[in-house]
């Protein structure tokens, strides 16, 4: 998919714009929904929402009816790929340690549990497949396997250099660079949505404009929540606030703010033992019950009982300098 090209060709059909392509395939998806809904595990959601979220045929927020069409197209394409070797065979498993950190801007663009850095996956794709091959990841999470399949065509300089050095040492030759085609799927709608965004070409200018607009809007609406008074009229920007549990003294029922009782600000240590300010008895956390508070949740329309937490420390910045203070009347 190329957002800048004149004519858009998608699964054998030609469109003047991406929007035209999207409208055509969204209508197609709508007509296929009754059949797709018979598939076990079809997501719970309104038809209009599923259609609006989807960018068919590349991404559908439900089972994708075009998977076989993509496979057919990729199978046809690969016949003419010069970088392919008819006698390609994998005779040995990939048996080398793969070490990849997570300090990678692609990885960090969106967090997800058990996420794998894409250069790690590239090693396996380069070993087991050749350009034009199709890989399927049906537990794709945020789609890092797809990112890796694309990056096999155009790796960043550092990854290319690292992998080529490994390949020369292990196999005495360079890997076969070139795009692999990935089919990605996941049970979780949010995972496949993130995966779609990781694996689609975007209009960078439009993206930057929209994200700047969004950041400005969020700042306008939410900045006040992160302001705290420093001195006089000077305001600081809160980096984080520490909240503490509240406990009840087993001897006199006095309310104890745990952090205040155990934190020694001079030594930066937290002690196991502390004293009740009122009855002076020596206590440990395990001796005390946690104090709870009952709140009414407007969204759930019911009462909830929660452990009582209070703010005990604010870390904030004025310019580039960081400060800390106990919450005061003008802080939050």
Where on the chain is the footprint of ligand SAM (CB under 6 A)?
Answer: 112, 114-116, 138-139, 141-142, 144, 186-188, 191
CB of 115 to ligand SAM, least distance (A): 4
Under DSSP, is residue 187 helix (H, G, I), strand (E, B) or coil? coil
Provide the pairing of β-strand 263-264 with 255-257.
unpaired
Q: Which option in ligand SAM, Zn ion, none does residue 142 bind, with CB closer than 5 to 8 A by kind?
A: ligand SAM
251 is a site residue for Zn ion (CB under 5 A): yes
Cβ atoms 323, 317 nearer than 8 A: yes
C-beta closer to ligand SAM: residue 112 or 176? 112
Environment class of 266 (CB within 10 Å of its CB; exposed 0-12, middle 13-18, buried 19+): exposed
CA angle 61–63–66, rounded 5-degree value: 105
CB of 296 to Zn ion, least distance (A): 31
Instruction: Please list, in sequence order, all residues whose beta carbon lies within 8 angstroms of the beta carbon of residue 178, skipping any fewer than 6 positions away.
Output: 81, 83, 130, 131, 132, 152, 153
Residue 248 binds Zn ion, judged by CB under 5 A: no
Q: Which does 301 bind (CB under 5 to 8 A by kind): Zn ion, ligand SAM, none?
A: none
Sequence-separated (6 or more) residues with CB below 8 Å from residue 30: 47, 51
Residue 273 interacts with Zn ion (CB under 5 A)? no
Of the pair 136, 174, the CB lying nearest ligand SAM is at 136
Of the two residues 122 and 262, which places its CB atom closer to Zn ion in the complex?
Answer: 262
DSSP annotation of 44: P
CB 142 within 8 A of CB 191: yes
Binding partner of 251, given Zn ion, ligand SAM, none, CB within 5-8 angstroms per partner class? Zn ion
- Residue 96 or residue 139: which is nearer to ligand SAM going by CB? 139
Binding part of the chain for Zn ion, among 10-18, 124-132, 174-182, 276-284 by CB under 5 A, reads 276-284
Would you count residue 246 as binding Zn ion (CB under 5 A)?
A: no
Closest CB 139 distance from ligand SAM, rounded Å: 3
Structure tokens at 277: 């300010």
**Which residue has the CB atom at the shortest distance from ligand SAM?**
141
- How many residues are given for the chain? 332
- Residue 36 has a CB neighbour count (10 Å cut-off) of 15
- 184 vs 314 by CB, closer to ligand SAM: 184
What is the distance in angstroms between the CA of the first residue and the CA of the last residue of the chain? Answer: 48
50: partner contacted, choices Zn ion, ligand SAM, none (Cβ within 5-8 A by kind): none
Q: Does 261 bind Zn ion (CB under 5 A)?
A: no
Residue 143, phi-psi category: left (phi > 0), alpha (psi -120 to 50), beta (remainder): left
Least Å from the CB of residue 118 to ligand SAM: 8
Q: Which residues bind Zn ion (CB under 5 A)?
A: 249, 251-252, 254, 276, 278-279
């Amino acid at each position: 998919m190329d957002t800048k090209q004149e004519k858009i060709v998608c699964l054998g059909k030609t469109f003047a714009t991406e929007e035209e392509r999207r409208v055509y395939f969204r209508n197609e998806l709508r007509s296929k929904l009754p059949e797709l809904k018979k598939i076990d595990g079809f997501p719970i959601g309104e038809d209009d929402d599923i259609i609006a979220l989807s960018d068919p045929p590349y991404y559908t927020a439900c089972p994708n009816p075009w998977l076989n069409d993509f496979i057919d197209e990729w199978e046809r394409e690969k016949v003419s790929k010069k970088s392919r070797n008819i006698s390609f065979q994998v005779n040995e498993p990939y048996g080398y340690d793969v070490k990849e950190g997570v300090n990678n801007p692609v990885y960090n663009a969106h967090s997800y549990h058990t996420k794998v850095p894409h250069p790690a996956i590239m090693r396996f794709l380069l070993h087991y497949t050749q350009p034009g091959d199709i890989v399927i990841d049906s537990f794709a999470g945020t789609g890092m396997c797809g990112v890796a399949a694309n990056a096999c065509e155009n790796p960043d300089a550092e990854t290319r250099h690292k992998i080529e050095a490994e390949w020369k040492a292990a196999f005495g030759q360079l890997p076969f660079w070139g795009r692999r085609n990935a089919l990605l799927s996941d049970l979780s709608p949010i995972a496949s949505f993130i995966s779609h965004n990781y694996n689609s070409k975007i209009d960078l200018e439009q993206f930057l404009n929209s994200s700047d607009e969004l950041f400005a809007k969020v700042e306008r609406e939410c900045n006040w929540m992160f302001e705290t008074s420093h001195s006089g009229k000077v305001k600081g920007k809160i980096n984080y606030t520490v909240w503490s549990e509240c406990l009840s003294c087993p001897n006199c029922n006095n309310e104890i703010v745990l952090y205040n009782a155990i934190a020694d600000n001079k030594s930066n240590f937290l002690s196991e033992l502390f004293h009740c300010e009122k009855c002076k008895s020596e206590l440990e956390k395990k001796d005390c019950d946690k104090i709870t508070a009952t709140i009414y949740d407007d969204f759930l329309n019911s009462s909830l009982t929660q452990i009582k937490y209070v703010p005990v420390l604010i870390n904030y910045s004025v310019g580039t300098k960081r400060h800390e203070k106990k919450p005061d009347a003008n802080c939050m």
